[in-house]
Structure 1
Amino acid sequence: MTKTPNIIHDTIKAERLLNAAPERVFAAWTDSEARKRWEPTPEGMSMDYDGHDFQIGGYEKSRMTKDGNVLAEFDTRFIDIVENSRVVSSVRVNSGGNALSCSQHTIDFRAEGNGTRLICHEQVAWFHGHDMRAEHEGGWSTLLDRLAGEVEG
């Protein structure tokens, strides 16, 4: 009998005060072309997107590739959207036909002074028994740095 790896659960919070109005930050977050500019992709890899149905119940599929090989597939479902205020989505990550993780992302866009306090929560379950917290925290930090460059420039 094959032993199933332990599932690891965690909640990750990332927060940033951006020097841009909530409308600007929300637009950059929800526009697929803008996201291609600021979403972090590891060196030597690329992201390919199949559709972007940004509405409650909408679906997006994307793939991370390197040298033409698919490393991971991301299946995103939009659960709740309040314009200029929040986006809630679920994301399933697959590789080689196996589910690696499933998470719920809650993104809050809060007006603060002349800017936006962006608060991101990720509730994640890793199915392969590896704690990926440090990698996800690094990913959120890079994502917020690049988003700031997109909306503040």
Structure 2
Amino acid sequence: MTDRSCIHATFVVERVYAASPARVFAAFADPEKKKQWFKGPDEWGPPDQKYDFRVGGEEHSIGGPPGEPPHRFYNRYLEIIPNERIVYTYWMHHGEPLASASVATLEFRAEGAKTRVVVTEVGAFLDGYYSAEGREEGIRWQMEAVAKVVEG
């Protein structure tokens, strides 16, 4: 039997990009651009992904380290304001069990010729599969990967 637990957490990650809000927003909206950064480490191999960037659209990304249960990410977009804000809810499974559920907001703020992206996440981390600290580290890793797409 699994020991049940639920840890609630909120965190904020900010990153400034040397690119316009439209260029940074496109890294999230355009499936070809998103494929370049929305993935695990290269040793995980290519993920199974589906993109549907629209209000009500659902997406998934499934992958993970070889020989381990897959990390399964599913999301649904609640609000999209081009070049300004994205709000979505997402849930993750570690293998079959539900491991976390979150609401995330991405805000795109112009700062001269640059863009500040503010990611705020409110999550429930279930049964010890994932932690808020690990998720925050993963979001920071993704934000660095976005930089390679929009600045490089």
Query: Aligned AA for 2:108?
Result: F
**1:131–1:146 CA distance, 2 compared to 1 (3 A):** closer
Contact 1:63–1:70 at 8 Å: present in 2 too?
Answer: no
Q: Partners of 2:2 and 2:146 in 1: how far apart?
A: 41
* 8 Å CA contact 1:11, 1:124 repeated in 2: yes
| TM-score normalised by L of structure 1 | 0.89
Identical residues among aligned pairs (%)? 34
SS at match of 2:70: strand
Q: Within 2, Cα distance between the matches of 1:67 and 1:145?
A: 24
CA–CA separation in structure 2 for the residues paired with 1:38 and 1:49: 12
Query: What is the total number of aligned residue pairs between the two structures?
Result: 151
The question of whether the paired residues in 1 share the 8 Å contact of 2:72 and 2:92 is answered with: yes
| Alignment gaps of 5+ in structure 1 | none
Contact 1:100 1:127 in 2 (8 A): yes
If each structure's strand is expressed as a fraction of its own residues, which one has the higher value? 1
* Closer/same/farther in 2, CA of residues 12 and 111 from structure 1, 3 Å limit: same
> Is the CA contact 1:63–1:72 (under 8 Å) kept in the aligned structure 2?
yes
TM-score when normalising by structure 2: 0.89
Instruction: Report how far residue 130 of structure 1 moved.
Output: 5.7
Q: Residues of 2 paired with 1:133 and 1:123: CA distance? A: 9
> Which position in structure 2 is the counterpart of 1:117?
116
**Aligned Cα RMSD in Å?**
2.0
